Amino acid sequence: MAKPGRPAMPKPDLSPHVDAFLDMLTTERGAALNTRQAYWRDLADASLFIRNTMNKEIDNAATDDIKKYLMDLSEKKNTKGSNNNKIAVRTVARRLSALRQFYRYLVSENVREDDPTSTIESPKQGRTLPKTLSESEVTALIKTAGSKGNAESKRLVCLLEMLYATGLRVSELVGLPISAIDQKGKFIIIAGKGDKERMVPLSTPAQKALDAYMNVRKEHIGQEGSSAKEKWVFPSKTSDSGHLTRQRFAQLLKDLAREAKVDEDRVSPHILRHAFATHLLKNGADLRSVQKMLGHADITTTQVYTHILGEDAKKTVEEKHPLSKKASGK
């Protein structure tokens, strides 16, 4: 969005092949809008550098052109300060990944015979472990959220319990339709990335929090436009979307963290998702089950959580499946 008093920046005129590639991501791979926009930003940056520096279009770039672009990108990032080195490596790796995908597409469509990125090695990245919370900190947040007992309090407890019980992405949680909850309120069906559906069970505390919240849910709908907001589990009186926004939920969590005396820099919807995965694995859940509940396409994405655990817990995750045993023993 342009700043007040300034005209919006014109969108650069990119190669038609970039647009075709982005369309392919959406139609064939089911890429979300945010994913498409991220690829557009990366390819637009590379396109403009190659056009302005080499007087070429990105379609015709050679390996040396790509290397010069990545080197320039790395140098610009590092001039901002030594603390930005890790950011520079991540940015270069992401841009190179986007370019690889683009050129593989061009080869598959017979636009090019070669992939100029095929001989370029990705920069090595240090492992960045996800932030998480302890079980006692999560308990403190939930307890503090429920202390007032009013409609706002019951909604916040429900949000926390459902997020901690399911590990939903924040967009999936706030945009959850009523139709996603099964009739008994024990499961929810999520349409995740790429419209892939997954079924996630609700814990007993989450079920109780949902029941308590549903009794006061109408207080969050208001009078105007109530029919349009009825479809959402977490409607909002003020949001254009009709449901609670990600930004509002994140702010509610920051306020709650201060009240619960938990470091607010370590509290966010995404960190609660990390806590869900880490605590499940710590208590014996198998990696494949956690992968399915999180909606990860690749199990290696889920495996990063094992690096937060101690060696004993890692061994349990890798060698045993206690969650299945517990389920069969009930």
Q: What angle do CA 21, 9, 65 make, to 5 degrees?
A: 50
Tally of CB atoms within 10 A around 295? 21
CB 138 within 8 A of CB 109: no
Read off the DSSP letter of residue 191: E
CB 231 within 8 A of CB 178: yes
CA distance 41 to 94: 11
Tell me which residues are annotated as active site. Answer: 169, 193, 270, 273, 296, 305
DSSP labels for 223-272? STTHHHHTTBSSB-SS-TTSB--HHHHHHHHHHHHHHHT--GGG-SHHHH
Three-state SS across 65-120? HHHHHHHHHHHHHHCCCHHHHHHHHHHHHHHHHHHHHHHHHHHHCCCCCCCCCCCC
Read off the DSSP letter of residue 178: G
